[in-house]
Structure 1
């Protein structure tokens, strides 16, 4: 249940496009055709699914303060967190290069249609954002990071697929001249963001109940401690 909730939150509530507006360059430029959007979205899923767990291991065993203790006690005080961006981007660039080679080998037409935007996945802020959010959330295990990476990729995929399908249909609509192009696209993106955020009430109720339970337990423990202290004071008197 924990993994399912994390997965659904990454797709709908913490959506890279609709919640944080990350990866908007590719989202706007490659969303004119559904076929192209599907190809790029699949590539983003693959890159996020691989890089987020890899960067989790880098952060846990190399980057964070005290992570190098596995090399010996003398390395316990080392802090390499200043290398976070460099190593994260290096991992992402490596995986994007692998995706580019695979796409060019097995689907030359898709490779040509994606053009420059395929290698630009390496500098797509949604990809780097997934690793940085993973680091911020401090997941306890690599499985959590993998689920979050896959969910984030699927969320971005659904976003670009939805806007591509709408933009294909909207060509035959009578859109007011000032709103044609990016204008109506931004309006549609905002409306879809509202729709995605509406899932928040379905997936955050458990968190609120859990926080209330924790607050109740803390209050009860504090009250019991005060009663015990007052009893001890009365006994001493």
Structure 2
């Protein structure tokens, strides 16, 4: 039951984008269409989950050797290397998927939620199962946030006459603020810490 609560909390009450306000650059930039949002969300979920799974045993090794101060550097290297490997793998073996991701795949390297998830499991002392569930749930939560934002933006541009000063990123920030307020309502459900 604890893992289910952790999974739901990482999507809703502790949504990495809407509660912790992480990953805003790519959230704002890529949420111009639902297709882009879904592609980016899937890529972020895959990379976040796999890099956390790779980083957990590395952190345990660093902990055993007393060199945990290196964890930030090691996490960044693992994330960059994995994204590069994934990009090369998709380009060679799944060119259609590679073309569909386009520029979104390299953008994940600089998405702060990928690093934040690894730092969260470290500071919260999660075991392997908790790390997997939390990282996957955080990726799903970020994908939920970007798809919701893209859907609202698309609908608003179709049916509303948005004032010129609020078009583009300004309206995206307003929408994110309203979504964040809505997600704060989930905080009574449970806590991750």
TM norm structure 1: 0.75
Higher alpha-carbon deviation: 9-18 or 128-137: 9-18
Q: Aligned partners of 2:139 and 2:115: how far apart in 1? A: 12
CA distance in 1, matches of 2:59, 2:7: 21
2:101 maps to which residue? Answer: 111
Aligned length: 188
Q: Does 1:59 align with 2:46?
A: no
Which of 153, 172, 177 is matched with 1:167 structurally? 153
Q: Does the 8 A contact of 1:36 with 1:110 survive in 2?
A: no
- With 128-137 and 87-96 compared, the bigger mean Cα shift is at 87-96
8 Å CA contact retained: 2:40, 2:101? no
In 2, the alpha carbon distance for the partners of 1:3 and 1:127 equals 20
Distance 1:108 1:86 in 2: 28
Deviation >4 Å, runs of 4+: none
Instruction: Please report how far the alpha carbon of residue 102 of structure 1 lies from its aligned counterpart in structure 2 after TM superposition.
Output: 4.5
Say which one has the larger Rg: 1
3-state SS of 1:107 partner? helix
Report deviation, 1:103: 4.4
Where in structure 2 are there 5+ consecutive unaligned residues?
Answer: none
Superposed CA RMSD in Å reads: 1.6
1:145-202 residue CA offsets vs partner (Å, 9 max, x unmatched): 0000000000000011111111111112111222111111111101101111211112
2:170 corresponds to: 183
TM-score by length of 2: 0.91
Report 1:1-237 matches (<5 A): 1-61=1-61, 63-64=62-63, 67-68=64-65, 79-104=66-91, 105-112=95-102, 115=103, 117-139=104-126, 141-172=127-158, 173-204=160-191
Which whole-Å deviations, capped at 9, do the CAs of 1:13-51 have from their partners, x for residues lacking one? Answer: 221111111111110111101111111110111011111
- Point out which structure has higher relative CO (alpha carbons under 8 A, 6+ apart): 2
